[in-house]
Amino acid sequence: MERRTIAVMLMSVCTVGLAVVAVPLLAHHGTSASYDQVKWINVTGVVTQFIWRNPHSSLYLDTTENGKVSSYSIEMASPGLLVQEGYTRETFKLGDKVTIRVHPSLAGTAVGECLFSCQVTINGQTLRTGRGGNRQ
Protein backbone atom coordinates (compact mmCIF):
# COMPACT_ATOMS: atom_id res chain seq x y z
CA MET A 1 0.00 0.00 0.00
CA GLU A 2 1.14 3.46 -0.63
CA ARG A 3 1.76 5.87 2.22
CA ARG A 4 -1.15 8.13 1.33
CA THR A 5 -3.64 5.25 1.49
CA ILE A 6 -2.28 4.17 4.85
CA ALA A 7 -2.55 7.74 6.20
CA VAL A 8 -6.15 8.06 4.99
CA MET A 9 -7.06 4.71 6.57
CA LEU A 10 -5.38 5.67 9.84
CA MET A 11 -7.22 9.00 9.94
CA SER A 12 -10.51 7.24 9.21
CA VAL A 13 -9.96 4.78 12.05
CA CYS A 14 -9.08 7.63 14.43
CA THR A 15 -12.16 9.61 13.38
CA VAL A 16 -14.46 6.64 13.94
CA GLY A 17 -12.77 5.94 17.29
CA LEU A 18 -13.25 9.55 18.39
CA ALA A 19 -16.92 9.43 17.39
CA VAL A 20 -17.45 6.22 19.36
CA VAL A 21 -15.97 7.85 22.47
CA ALA A 22 -17.76 11.20 22.02
CA VAL A 23 -21.32 9.96 21.45
CA PRO A 24 -21.86 8.70 25.04
CA LEU A 25 -20.67 12.07 26.34
CA LEU A 26 -23.40 13.78 24.35
CA ALA A 27 -26.01 11.48 25.87
CA HIS A 28 -25.99 13.42 29.15
CA HIS A 29 -28.80 15.86 28.57
CA GLY A 30 -29.31 19.31 29.94
CA THR A 31 -32.18 19.88 32.31
CA SER A 32 -33.48 22.93 30.44
CA ALA A 33 -35.24 20.58 28.01
CA SER A 34 -37.36 19.12 30.82
CA TYR A 35 -37.67 21.81 33.50
CA ASP A 36 -38.63 25.49 33.56
CA GLN A 37 -35.29 27.05 34.51
CA VAL A 38 -36.89 30.47 35.13
CA LYS A 39 -39.74 29.40 37.41
CA TRP A 40 -39.50 28.12 40.99
CA ILE A 41 -42.21 26.38 43.02
CA ASN A 42 -42.30 25.05 46.58
CA VAL A 43 -43.25 21.40 46.96
CA THR A 44 -44.22 20.11 50.40
CA GLY A 45 -44.62 16.45 51.20
CA VAL A 46 -43.51 13.42 53.17
CA VAL A 47 -40.40 11.51 52.07
CA THR A 48 -41.24 8.09 50.68
CA GLN A 49 -37.81 7.38 49.18
CA PHE A 50 -34.39 8.99 48.68
CA ILE A 51 -32.09 7.33 46.17
CA TRP A 52 -28.43 8.30 46.45
CA ARG A 53 -26.99 7.39 43.03
CA ASN A 54 -25.19 8.60 39.93
CA PRO A 55 -25.74 10.39 37.66
CA HIS A 56 -28.55 12.05 39.67
CA SER A 57 -30.00 11.34 43.10
CA SER A 58 -33.79 11.23 43.40
CA LEU A 59 -36.15 12.36 46.14
CA TYR A 60 -39.73 11.06 46.21
CA LEU A 61 -42.46 12.77 48.23
CA ASP A 62 -46.12 12.10 48.89
CA THR A 63 -47.87 15.45 48.58
CA THR A 64 -51.41 16.28 49.63
CA GLU A 65 -53.60 18.76 47.76
CA ASN A 66 -57.33 19.12 48.37
CA GLY A 67 -57.25 15.95 50.46
CA LYS A 68 -55.76 13.92 47.60
CA VAL A 69 -52.34 12.28 48.07
CA SER A 70 -50.08 12.08 45.03
CA SER A 71 -46.43 11.31 44.36
CA TYR A 72 -43.89 13.96 43.39
CA SER A 73 -40.36 13.14 42.25
CA ILE A 74 -37.39 15.49 42.36
CA GLU A 75 -34.25 15.09 40.31
CA MET A 76 -31.22 16.14 42.34
CA ALA A 77 -27.48 16.41 41.71
CA SER A 78 -25.04 13.50 41.85
CA PRO A 79 -23.90 12.27 45.28
CA GLY A 80 -20.50 13.93 44.77
CA LEU A 81 -22.06 17.33 44.15
CA LEU A 82 -24.62 16.85 46.94
CA VAL A 83 -21.78 16.17 49.39
CA GLN A 84 -20.21 19.48 48.35
CA GLU A 85 -23.55 21.13 49.18
CA GLY A 86 -23.50 19.44 52.59
CA TYR A 87 -25.96 16.60 51.96
CA THR A 88 -25.40 12.97 52.93
CA ARG A 89 -27.27 9.79 52.06
CA GLU A 90 -28.98 10.23 55.48
CA THR A 91 -30.21 13.82 54.93
CA PHE A 92 -33.69 12.74 53.80
CA LYS A 93 -35.27 9.98 55.88
CA LEU A 94 -38.46 8.05 55.29
CA GLY A 95 -41.35 9.99 56.86
CA ASP A 96 -39.57 13.39 57.03
CA LYS A 97 -41.80 16.35 56.15
CA VAL A 98 -39.96 18.30 53.47
CA THR A 99 -40.51 21.60 51.70
CA ILE A 100 -38.20 22.04 48.74
CA ARG A 101 -37.94 24.76 46.11
CA VAL A 102 -37.68 23.24 42.62
CA HIS A 103 -37.82 24.07 38.94
CA PRO A 104 -41.11 22.48 37.77
CA SER A 105 -41.56 20.16 34.82
CA LEU A 106 -42.27 21.88 31.51
CA ALA A 107 -44.79 19.10 30.78
CA GLY A 108 -46.83 19.93 33.90
CA THR A 109 -46.16 16.55 35.50
CA ALA A 110 -45.40 15.99 39.21
CA VAL A 111 -41.65 16.19 38.67
CA GLY A 112 -39.16 18.89 39.62
CA GLU A 113 -35.47 19.61 39.47
CA CYS A 114 -33.25 20.75 42.33
CA LEU A 115 -29.61 20.51 41.27
CA PHE A 116 -27.80 23.29 43.11
CA SER A 117 -28.36 25.45 46.18
CA CYS A 118 -32.04 24.64 46.61
CA GLN A 119 -33.97 25.88 49.59
CA VAL A 120 -34.85 22.84 51.70
CA THR A 121 -36.72 22.57 54.99
CA ILE A 122 -36.90 19.19 56.76
CA ASN A 123 -39.26 18.78 59.72
CA GLY A 124 -39.26 22.55 60.25
CA GLN A 125 -35.45 22.94 60.09
CA THR A 126 -34.08 24.89 57.13
CA LEU A 127 -30.89 23.56 55.62
CA ARG A 128 -28.09 25.94 54.84
CA THR A 129 -27.35 25.64 51.14
CA GLY A 130 -23.86 25.63 49.79
CA ARG A 131 -20.95 23.87 51.46
CA GLY A 132 -21.75 22.54 54.89
CA GLY A 133 -25.52 22.50 54.42
CA ASN A 134 -26.42 19.70 56.83
CA ARG A 135 -29.33 20.03 59.23
CA GLN A 136 -28.83 22.78 61.77
pLDDT in tens, 46-63: 999 999 999 999 999 999
* pTM to 2 decimal places: 0.73
Q: Where are the domains of the chain?
A: 32-126
Report the distance separating Cα 61 and Cα 46, nearest Å: 5
The CATH architecture to which 32-126 belongs is: Beta Barrel (2.40)
| Rounded-to-integer distance, Cα 135 and Cα 83, Å | 13
CA distance 89 to 45: 19
d(CA 136, CA 132): 10
How many helices and strands (H and E) does the chain possess?
A: 2, 7
Interval 66-119: pLDDT, tens: 999 999 999 999 999 999 988 999 999 999 999 999 999 999 999 999 988 789
